[in-house]
């Protein structure tokens, strides 16, 4: 009888079952039952056998694993060149079979070998910026992505695909949109952000179709106009397979923690869709004519800090004051309704509202309001309270951006010494003015 292998090791085993002798290769999991060996296969499914049914089992060395990842990858240089810029996230994750936790550890080469179909779409280059969960990404990483995009375009890539964790994917996509198009220009090629809601070694993973679609758009999508399509996100359009949605990075938001179609538009429409079928990939698009010129991107000042608060019964002036004293450059408050804050005291029994209004009126840093409702505009002209907020200096009127896009826009504007009047302007597709008519 064979010995029980080490959990977490990759093995080759031959088992004798009702259908005869069967060979498997995969990663050893804790046994599904006593005296059983359970292995996770490369397709995401598990197989279990009683240990006395195992004819042979051999561990695969690290050297063998590495060679199996990279060997046989041949590129077609006649295809458009696309650079995959790898930052991490669930699309680049695996299960740690000793702890059961999902960890970020995929290498760019593993992405290529795990989805070989992308070699039929583009000539792939791969760059690794890190293996980060997206909630760990900071403005300095935005700057690294910007530099990596420029290097990719300079090397001849028609587009780039940034593999990114989904939780802040739309924030980074907004940041790169303003960097490349906030000044009125456009990037030299297509910038696509993609990720997955489920790790790539799960049978229900959305990683393969998302990555295929992202590479396809980067290689074959329409010319970038700089007006909503500067940096796009490509994720599943529905809970099923077969269609991925192409959305403007400045107009999309993650609306669900686990669904594969978690990314939905805010105050706008998708740019297009990509259909995956046995015949290949096809796309539709609403992108218009290209009118802007390619411009060098702007960057983000990593010394800029923006404090964020939620309007409601626990918003007090001392929070804003503490942020100012800590050196924050601006304050973004997620306001209720049309962008309202608790700054009035009609019954005379809420002095904290008076204190908040008084502090905002004298606040030495900009105070901006975002839309806590997500959809709909910030319109501070409808109610008297909104007009009062404008009188004491609250900014944000006329914005239809998601809170995340507005956050990136504030940071970009301060970094590049822009008047914050730009917050109500439409620089690169982030503000849908029709909502204010």
pLDDT tens digits along 101-154:
555 555 666 666 667 788 889 999 988 898 888 999 999 999 999 999 999 999
pLDDT at 46: 76
Does some domain include residue 131? Answer: yes
pTM for this entry: 0.82
Residue tagged active-site, from 38, 166, 194, 230: 166
Does some domain include residue 292? Answer: no
Percent of the chain with pLDDT over 70: 87
Q: Are residues 263 and 317 in the same domain?
A: no
Q: Are residues 167 and 242 in the same domain?
A: yes
Exposure class string for 217-256: b at 16+ Cβ within 10 A, else e: bbbbbbebbbbbbbbbbbbbbeeeeebbbbbbbbbbbbee
Which segment of 45-54, 193-202, 366-375 scores lowest on mean pLDDT? 193-202
Active-site residue, 355 included: no
Residue tagged active-site, from 125, 167, 206, 229: 167
The larger pLDDT score, comparing residue 66 to residue 301, is at 301
Q: Are residues 411 and 330 in the same domain?
A: yes
Residue tagged active-site, from 81, 94, 254, 418: 254
Q: How far is CA 6 from the centre of its chain?
A: 35
Q: Are residues 317 and 338 in the same domain?
A: yes
Q: Are residues 26 and 111 in the same domain?
A: no
Which is it for strands 20-29 and 10-17: parallel, antiparallel or unpaired?
antiparallel
Question: E strands of 278-359, at which residues?
Answer: 280-285, 306-310, 330-335
CATH of the domain at 34: 2.30.30.520
Helix axes 169-181, 403-415, angle to 10 degrees: 40
| Residue among 145, 197, 204 at smallest CA distance from 171 | 145
Over range 18-27, report the average pLDDT: 81
Number of domains in the chain: 3
Over range 417-424, report the average pLDDT: 94
Q: Are residues 170 and 275 in the same domain?
A: yes
Does some domain include residue 398? Answer: yes
Q: Are residues 280 and 393 in the same domain?
A: no
Q: How far is CA 122 from the centre of its chain?
A: 22
Active-site residue, 254 included: yes
Q: Are residues 341 and 210 in the same domain?
A: no
Average pLDDT, the chain: 89
pLDDT level of residue 16 (50, 70, 90 thresholds): confident
CATH of the domain at 175: 3.40.50.1170
Residue tagged active-site, from 90, 225, 230, 400: 90
Does some domain include residue 159? Answer: yes
Over range 248-271, report the average pLDDT: 94
Q: Look at residue 402 and tell me whether its pLDDT is greater than 90.
A: yes
Does some domain include residue 279? Answer: yes
pLDDT level of residue 64 (50, 70, 90 thresholds): very low
Residue identified by tokens 């939620």 is 310
pLDDT tens digits along 263-285:
999 999 999 999 999 889 999 99
Find the domain containing 41 and state its range: 10-60
pLDDT level of residue 91 (50, 70, 90 thresholds): low
141-258-378 Cα angle (round to 5)? 65
Q: Are residues 269 and 319 in the same domain?
A: no
| Residue among 339, 91, 82 at smallest CA distance from 199 | 91
Does some domain include residue 66? Answer: no
Q: Are residues 46 and 86 in the same domain?
A: no
Over range 395-411, report the average pLDDT: 96
Q: What is the largest CA-CA distance in the chain?
A: 84
Q: Are residues 261 and 174 in the same domain?
A: yes
């Amino acid at each position: 009888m064979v010995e029980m292998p080490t959990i977490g090791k990759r093995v080759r085993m031959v088992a004798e079952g009702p259908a005869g002798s069967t060979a498997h290769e995969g990663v050893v999991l804790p046994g599904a039952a006593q005296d059983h060996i359970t292995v996770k296969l490369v397709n995401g499914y598990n197989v279990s056998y009683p240990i006395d049914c195992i004819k042979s089992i051999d561990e695969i060395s690290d050297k063998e694993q590495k060679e199996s990842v990279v060997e046989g990858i041949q590129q077609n240089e006649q295809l458009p060149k696309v650079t995959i810029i790898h930052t991490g996230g669930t699309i680049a994750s695996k299960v740690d079979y000793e702890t059961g936790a999902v960890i970020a550890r995929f290498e760019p080469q593993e992405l290529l070998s795990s989805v070989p179909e992308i070699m039929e779409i583009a000539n792939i280059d791969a760059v690794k910026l890190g293996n980060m969960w997206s909630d760990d990404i900071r403005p300095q990483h935005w700057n690294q992505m910007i530099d990596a995009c420029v290097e990719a375009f300079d090397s001849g890539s028609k587009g780039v695909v940034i593999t990114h964790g989904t939780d802040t994917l739309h924030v980074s996509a907004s940041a790169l949109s303003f960097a490349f198009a906030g000044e009125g220009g456009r990037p030299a090629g297509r910038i696509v952000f993609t990720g997955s809601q489920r790790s790539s070694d799960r049978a229900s993973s959305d990683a393969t179709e998302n990555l295929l679609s992202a590479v396809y758009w980067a290689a074959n999508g329409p010319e970038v106009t700089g007006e909503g399509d500067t940096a796009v996100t490509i994720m599943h359009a529905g809970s099923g397979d077969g269609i991925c949605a192409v959305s403007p990075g400045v107009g999309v938001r993650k609306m669900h923690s686990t669904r594969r179609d978690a990314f939905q538009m805010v105050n706008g429409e998708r740019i297009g869709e990509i259909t995956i079928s046995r015949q290949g990939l096809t796309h539709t698009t609403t992108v218009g004519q290209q009118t802007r010129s390619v411009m060098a991107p702007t960057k983000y000042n990593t010394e800029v800090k923006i404090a964020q608060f939620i309007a409601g019964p626990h918003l007090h002036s001392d929070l804003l004051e503490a942020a100012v004293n800590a050196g924050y450059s601006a304050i973004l408050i997620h306001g209720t309704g049309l962008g309202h804050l608790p700054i009035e005291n009609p019954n005379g029994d809420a002095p904290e509202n008076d204190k908040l209004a008084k502090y905002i009126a004298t606040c030495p840093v900009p105070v901006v309001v975002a839309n806590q409702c997500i959809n709909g505009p910030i319109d501070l002209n409808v109610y008297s309270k909104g007009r009062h907020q404008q009188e004491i200096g609250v900014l944000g009127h006329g914005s239809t951006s998601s809170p995340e896009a507005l956050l990136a826009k504030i940071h970009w504007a301060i970094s590049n010494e822009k008047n914050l009047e730009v917050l109500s302007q439409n620089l690169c597709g982030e503000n849908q003015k029709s909502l204010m008519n």
